[in-house]
A and B are shown apart, each in its own frame.
Chain A
């Protein structure tokens, strides 16, 4: 049975992830998690100055690219569970899952970015986020860690940061030593009009071909 137990982040990130990943069940209060973490985080990222606000990000991978969303938007991260396909739904919606009695939709982020979907594996996760009033899940190839970064490392998105994601869905880009994080604007990325928009484009392409 697909019990909705929550994540343990992939091994490589355990050190950072444990105290701060949203591993507590639904009731997890993200602000609690944030208040718990400083003693652990302080050494790692360091606070450069008081007037710079800190961001806590959940980072994950889709097709070799590393993305991030604000932890406050993340409700929980689940291992893969049975996803019930819904006929006639938008292309990039994988289906619905039972989240403790609540039925929520799950978006395949690969398809959402226009990448061919692939079979889920052990590293695949369903990230459950709150966007406005809605609770939506999306699948990612792998969840990396929870990062505390200084606001200053986030820069506005360049017009073309990646060939995969339209810059309209990007909140900004986080530059770490050797990594580039793409901060996603979930409310735009998961907006229903945008989702159906893709369908129209793909079907037009198909018709054209």
Chain B
């Protein structure tokens, strides 16, 4: 098999990464298209990534890939023109193509030439495209003038290999025009026109060479006009100068607007024919129409109006937006006269704004993830050192030191605190990714599941832009797929069953994500048949997960949570909620590994909701430092509900377990000094730290409270893998090590105890 050794691996990698992102998008859009077959914008947005992939593939000489994408593009083109219908079958074909494309990308990633797809598929794609069996490029060319006729924008048509270079050439163009504008501005202040004109001419030559690339006639004509102006600038009389210079300013403005969009293969429909014609005529001393002559200090807007550059915008036109915004630009630049001078001087600012706009597509850079990890680790270290400085500062206040010195030290310490906090937040943010990264593949998943089970399922996604840490994104995918599969396989009934139950034939699965404090909450809610607690209870008894006694004291809600119990769902098919070999306990394990929490609610006959609650980040968290015996532990702040100093009368004993009455609730009590078997247990602990994990709450008795601290969670060696009530360790501000109490583990130990007792 031929390899791709001849291609620079970096370029290849970029191509694969970019294409994979585009393919991901394709998948989503195609599924959308099935629902909205008439949405032209959508078809166009599907068309674009395909076109990009085709272009890049052609550039890299990946011919098989290019031809394949080309066929798919043709099929879509036919749909776009209404020559082919969007049907289940055509969509199956296109989605299959996307899958194959993904496979080919993997091959490319392994530096192999992609295997050609079966000719039958290409034939089938071509069949869809039939009636427009021509290549798509000429088809587009046909369309372009037609489009221009009705809208304010023209598509820029270039050969594929030029398309790849377009963004780079465009940014060169922007830069050159900007330089030119800058030089031109100098006319306002500097009297030596000849020198300035000379500088202008140099840049114009450069610009002219650049312009050839774009194959845009108007651009070349504009540059020619500029050149004529620059050549005559030194010899032009004041009267003609007054007429021509504003036109040049206006012309440069138009050109810079064009340059800003040319990178996206568009051109604004700004017609400068009149402007350049008049400019040249005036430079040659020829007379022009009376009403075309300009007064002193004409605004750009006025010039553009006089020379009919600003197309009279058609409000009906769907793309009139661009024209409107460009005339807005012009308006901005046409402040009253007295402001104009200062505006000109502030021209640099405006241009930097332009630059910001035109590089908008490249505001991101790809960073190797290991560098971010490294950065995060360093910030973690910094937080530790900051904590130590804080501790030293507090200590110094107790010493007999100079007052000013102490004040300055504490100022430094609090500044350091703030900067570190900001830095930590910023670094955390670099690791945030939108949930859509995971959600994106679900419409396709649900579609396929629905197709294979002959059910009608609508997947409604909300909160896809909710951002969470990368590690969460990575870990959340599989659990979500599992739950979604369960919902659509077992939760949702067939259309017949739904009709009988008086439900709408189309089932709905709602997938949502939202922030709640320091957590992200992800919900998967279906309107299927729900879970029957009786079935679960029966099964749990058979499996020996619970005893009869325990069952009797359990609520329905508690009963259905048992589907997450180990050894429950991996077994034979359990009612309507069985896994595919992967148990729900794995789902729970994955979520718990993220310090998260999972909850299941269900109304029998109405539907099921699964909720994940997961901390946004995993490495650094706020904690309450507490003293237990003579040792110091950290209790995660997000789990703490309140801290109280209970009276002896609040305690009692239920079935041999010490409990504490807090208002209406009775909480199980864990005395940490005995639980952790401290050698020196010290006095009986006085403070109750009330913590919550899921729907379980308990009171942790501690000897004293030290204070709040940001702790950097460090994993413990696997010597301690059997330790369940400890979540990791952290370095204290005095350099010592404190262990972090694992609330989930403590809650489980209470549950275990309960199970054993029963």
Contacts and interface: CB of A to CB of B under 8 A. Distances in A.
Are both chains from one complex?
yes
Interface of A: 1-3, 82, 84-90, 93, 95-98, 101-105, 134, 136, 192, 195-196
A105 B718 CA distance: 9
Given A84-B736, A98-B735, A103-B714, A93 B631 contact: no
A41 to B, nearest CB: 35
Contacts of B288: none
B737 A87 contact: no
Given A86-B716, A89-B719, A89-B723, 18 more contacts: A1-B734, A82-B736, A85-B631, A85-B679, A86-B726, A88-B722, A88-B725, A89-B722, A93-B720, A95-B737, A96-B729, A97-B737, A98-B736, A103-B716, A103-B717, A103-B731, A104-B717, A134-B717
Contacts of A86: 716, 720, 723, 726, 739
B738 interface: yes
B477 to A, nearest CB: 28
Interface in B333-382: 381
B394 interface: no
A104 B717 CA distance: 7
B86 interface: no
28 contacts: A1-B735, A2-B736, A82-B736, A84-B729, A84-B737, A84-B739, A85-B679, A86-B720, A86-B739, A87-B726, A88-B720, A88-B722, A88-B724, A88-B725, A93-B720, A96-B739, A97-B737, A98-B735, A101-B381, A101-B731, A102-B714, A103-B716, A103-B717, A103-B729, A105-B717, A105-B719, A192-B719, A196-B722
B677 interface: yes
B717 A87 contact: no
Contacts of B213: none
A86 B737 CA distance: 10
Interface of B: 381, 384, 631, 675-677, 679, 714-726, 729, 731, 734-739
B719 A195 contact: yes
Nearest to B675: A87
Contacts of A97: 737
A85 B720 CA distance: 11
Contact of B737 (A3, A90, A103): A103
Contacts of B720: 86, 88-89, 93, 105
A110 B392 CA distance: 37
Counting from the closest, the 6 A-B pairs by CB-CB distance are A84-B737, A87-B676, A105-B717, A88-B723, A103-B714, A103-B729
Contacts of A134: 717
Contacts of B736: 2, 82, 84, 98
Contacts of B676: 87
Contact of B725 (A87, A96, A103): A87
A103 B728 CA distance: 10
A202 to B, nearest CB: 15
A142 B678 CA distance: 27
A1 B736 CA distance: 8
A96 B716 contact: yes
A97 B643 CA distance: 29
A17 B403 CA distance: 48
A87 B738 CA distance: 12
A90 B735 contact: no
Nearest to A88: B723
A185 to B, nearest CB: 18
A136 B724 CA distance: 21
A56 B625 CA distance: 45
A124 B715 CA distance: 27
A98 B739 CA distance: 12
B208 to A, nearest CB: 60
Nearest to A107: B719
Contacts of A85: 631, 679
A192 B719 CA distance: 6
A38 B82 CA distance: 87
B750 to A, nearest CB: 15
A105 B679 CA distance: 19
A126 to B, nearest CB: 13
A206 to B, nearest CB: 15
A141 to B, nearest CB: 21
Q: Among the interface residues A87, A88, A98, A196, which one has the most CB atoms of the partner chain B within 10 A? A: A87
B735 A2 contact: yes
Given A84-B631, A86-B726, A87-B677, A192 B739 contact: no
A134 B676 CA distance: 26
B749 to A, nearest CB: 10
B481 to A, nearest CB: 32
Contact of B718 (A96, A101, A192): A192
Contacts of B715: 103
Most buried by B among A1, A86, A104: A86
A96 B738 CA distance: 9
Contacts of B631: 84-85
Nearest to B729: A103
B424 to A, nearest CB: 16
A101 B716 contact: no
Contact of A98 (B722, B723, B737): B737
A36 B737 CA distance: 36
A136 B384 contact: no
Contacts of A105: 716-717, 719-720
Given A85-B631, A88-B723, A88-B724, A101 B384 contact: yes
Contacts of A84: 631, 729, 736-739
Given A84-B729, A98-B731, A103-B731, A93 B724 contact: no
A85 B725 CA distance: 13
A151 to B, nearest CB: 33
Nearest to B736: A82
Contacts of A89: 719-720, 722-723
A105 B737 CA distance: 11
A118 to B, nearest CB: 15
A84 B715 CA distance: 14
Contacts of B722: 88-89, 196
Contacts of B735: 1-3, 98
A196 to B, nearest CB: 8
Contacts of A93: 719-720
B414 to A, nearest CB: 23
Contacts of A96: 716-717, 729, 737, 739
Contacts of B714: 102-103
A153 B180 CA distance: 84
Contacts of B737: 82, 84, 95-98, 103
A2 to B, nearest CB: 7
Contacts of B724: 88
Contacts of A98: 731, 735-737
B623 to A, nearest CB: 15
Contacts of A82: 736-737
Contacts of B734: 1
B163 to A, nearest CB: 49
- Determine which residue in A90, A101, A102, A136 has the highest number of CB atoms from chain B within 10 A of its CB, and name it: A101
A185 B241 CA distance: 93
A190 B172 CA distance: 63
B367 to A, nearest CB: 24
Instruction: Tell which of B384, B724, B735 has the most Cβ of chain A within 10 Å.
Output: B735
Nearest to A4: B735
A92 to B, nearest CB: 10
A134 B310 CA distance: 71
Contacts of A136: 717
Of the listed residues B716, B717, B731, the one surrounded by the most CB atoms of chain A closer than 10 A to its CB is: B717
A194 to B, nearest CB: 11
Which residue of B384, B714, B715, B725 has the most chain A CB atoms within 10 A of its CB atom?
A: B714
A102 B677 CA distance: 25
A97 B731 CA distance: 9
Most B C-beta atoms less than 10 A away, residue of A93, A95, A98, A104? A98
Contacts of B723: 86-89
B381 A90 contact: no
Contacts of A2: 735-736
